[in-house]
Structure 1
Amino acid sequence: MARIHAPGHRAHRAHRALAALALLAVSAGSVTACGGGGSAHREPAPSASAPAVPEAHRTAEPELHMIDNDGHRLAFHVTEGHGPAIVLDAGGGEDSSYWKDIVPGLHAATGATIITYDRPGLGKSEAVPGAWDVRSAVSDLGTGLRKLGVTQDVVLVSHSQAGEIATYFTKENPELVSGSVLVDASLPPLYTDEEIARLVAANQPAVDAAKKDPSQPRNSQLISVAESYAPMHKAYHQVSWPDAVPATVIVSEKTPFDGSPEDAQLWRDAAASFVGQGPDRTLVTAKGSSHDVPKDRPALVIEEIGKMAAARG
């Protein structure tokens, strides 16, 4: 399967190396929008700007908490508020700073406690050697929330690869997660045996390049994901989301794929299929957005999180 990259994407490819495998995709490219197949489907008008932050909320600063779990330390950043805690989980290769432009507006809009965190080897968190393991990632998130005293009413917001963490975490903790917003997330229906094989083959050059300089954090993350990628996603394809936990799925118009309409359509189809598999699920298309919906459509992301928080609060 050929991948076509415009010259302007060459610098961008290096930045998106981890996303290339973790999402099983390559740099974002143009595609056509998908008609919905879920229980509900909305296509909001494009709006790039986040809501203005009132002066009263601009002084809120996150507090750093270092959490120990299974021999390593993890950085959790907490902006105090009230009501359901909103947990923001960034995609592959990204740390908590991915949400820096979302947190102030979200805190202003909801007044909720906002929690972001750095997975191992990213941001202020310690690295963990070996293959990336979604079960370990679930343990890291669960331990962090428990030690922060968050034991109920979590609204879990997950971008990209973090959708895999969200799926396992929510399945194991349906009493803790009251609702979820999955932002162009990696979802189980995508990972058929055929698609796994296609994506692994397409992204092998990125893995080979990363192995030439494994000391770089993004490269080491890419290598660790690649080591367990195929078996992990074969298992992930069979995982179901609990019916008791509502979910809003925001799918980007362009998806993570560049030059591959077939894979882009499969990505959109996976989002629609996920929504159609259970009750209380809504599909929202982020018109005009690349895979980085929180960057391209922050107001939309804040709006959908606010709706979920209000409904579950």
Structure 2
Amino acid sequence: MLRFVFLIFTAISSFLPSSAYSLDEKRKLQQVLIDVGEYNLSFNFIAGTKPAIVFESGSGVDSSHWNNIVETLSNKIDNAIITYDRAGYGLSELPKSPYDIYGEVEGLKKGLEQLGYANSFVYVGHSYAYYLMEMYGAKYSNSLNSLVFIDPITVEFIDSMGGIEEELKNIDLSQLPNNNLGKALTRETEGLAETYASVKNLRDKYRKNCFIISAEKPEWSSLKEIYEWQAAHKKLSEKCGSKLVVAKGSTHDVPTHSPEVIVSKLVSILSKL
């Protein structure tokens, strides 16, 4: 079983864009394209206090994955809320250059700088977002208030399944859709080995104030996969020094199946900052 690819295709086949935002006029949603160098990234934001809440999607889905959570959260907090489309996703442009996790992180940072929130935010991400979050935390730890990993596909889990080489050896990228999303995913997948190695080799991972939300029902077929997935989340939670939160009844797509768990955790985190 190719874990990365399985989660990507699960996301593509099951994801439907969330409903449009329905917000109070005082919490107006704004969308802007920001030049981050080689390309433009699309950001959606609700202005507010710091720290901002910044959402990072997993593979195969754009920023609309967070719409329902953003709408609910905006009625509970006064903090700024930000979602964005990674390069090639949604309304963001697809670069001509190969995928590079350092470049991806720099793109987000440049966008947040232009929005005025790069120096203080809570970083929330699902699945593959774990890699971007780990890299951002290692490079710019002083700008982060917290990390919230949602059902992450961790380095430890991949190692327990035989390593990244095992994941990649039978990938058939021709199965991806022949559109901009497919091209973005191809680019992302072609960079997976380097992405994995870069994060695995990080010496200074952000562990000051991080939290893990784990799906109660991992989408794996074997008992070993399920055991190792849950063990990796428990280990990461222990390193963070926080209690593992289990999204009851949820499969991997926690943002869709258990949005209330995410909202509750974020409100709790903000109340203690």
TM-score with structure 2 setting the length: 0.86
**2-side partners of 1:93 and 1:129: how far apart?**
19
Aligned-pair CA distance for 1:59: 6.3
Aligned-pair CA distance for 1:121: 0.9
Aligned-pair CA distance for 1:115: 0.5
1:286 aligns with one of 247, 252, 263: 247
Indicate the SS of the match to 1:106: helix
State the number of aligned residues: 262
Equivalent positions of 1:47-196 (< 5 A) are 57=24, 60-192=27-159, 194-196=162-164
Aligned-pair CA distance for 1:283: 1.2
After TM superposition, which residue ranges in structure 1, 4 or more long, deviate above 4 angstroms? none
Q: 1:21–1:225: 8 Å Cα contact kept in structure 2?
A: no
Letter in 2 for 1:262: K
Q: 1:81–1:111: 8 Å Cα contact kept in structure 2?
A: yes
**2-side partners of 1:196 and 1:303: how far apart?**
34
Indicate the SS of the match to 2:90: coil
Aligned-pair CA distance for 1:231: 3.3
Q: Over residues 115-140 of structure 1, what are the superposed CA-to-partner deviations in whole Å (9 max), with x where a residue is unaligned? A: 11111111111111343221111011
Q: Over residues 79-104 of structure 1, what are the superposed CA-to-partner deviations in whole Å (9 max), with x where a residue is unaligned? A: 12224211111111211111111111
Aligned-pair CA distance for 1:309: 1.7
Map of 1:209 onto structure 2: 175
**1-side partners of 2:48 and 2:254: how far apart?**
25
**1-side partners of 2:157 and 2:54: how far apart?**
24
Q: Against the structure 1 CA distance between its residues 293 and 56, is the aligned structure 2 distance closer, same or farther, given a 3 Å change threshold?
A: closer
Residue 269 of structure 2 corresponds to residue 302 of structure 1? no
**1-side partners of 2:146 and 2:184: how far apart?**
29
Map of 1:46 onto structure 2: none
Q: 2:109–2:118: 8 Å Cα contact kept in structure 1?
A: no
Equivalent positions of 1:18-29 (< 5 A) are 20-21=4-5, 27=10
Q: Over residues 219-273 of structure 1, what are the superposed CA-to-partner deviations in whole Å (9 max), with x where a residue is unaligned? A: 2123212222223313322335223x30110011222x34233223222221111
Q: 1:180–1:248: 8 Å Cα contact kept in structure 2?
A: yes
Q: Against the structure 1 CA distance between its residues 285 and 122, is the aligned structure 2 distance closer, same or farther, given a 3 Å change threshold?
A: same
Q: Against the structure 1 CA distance between its residues 273 and 83, is the aligned structure 2 distance closer, same or farther, given a 3 Å change threshold?
A: same
Residue 242 of structure 2 corresponds to residue 276 of structure 1? no
Q: Over residues 9-62 of structure 1, what are the superposed CA-to-partner deviations in whole Å (9 max), with x where a residue is unaligned? A: xxxxxxxxxx94385x7649xxxxxxxxxxxxxxxxxxxxxxxx9x98476331
Map of 1:6 onto structure 2: none
Aligned-pair CA distance for 1:105: 0.7
Q: Over residues 140-182 of structure 1, what are the superposed CA-to-partner deviations in whole Å (9 max), with x where a residue is unaligned? A: 1111111111143301111111111111101111111011211
TM-score with structure 1 setting the length: 0.76
2:187 aligns with one of 221, 224, 241: 224
Q: Over residues 268-293 of structure 1, what are the superposed CA-to-partner deviations in whole Å (9 max), with x where a residue is unaligned? A: 221111122243x3311112101110
Matched-pair identity in %: 25
Map of 2:17 onto structure 1: none
Which deviates further from its counterpart, 232-241 or 297-306?
A: 232-241
**2-side partners of 1:166 and 1:233: how far apart?**
12
**1-side partners of 2:185 and 2:226: how far apart?**
21
Q: 2:87–2:184: 8 Å Cα contact kept in structure 1?
A: no
Q: Over residues 64-87 of structure 1, what are the superposed CA-to-partner deviations in whole Å (9 max), with x where a residue is unaligned? A: 122111221111111122242111
**2-side partners of 1:78 and 1:195: how far apart?**
37
Task: Structure 2: give runs of 5+ residues left out of the alignment.
Answer: 12-20
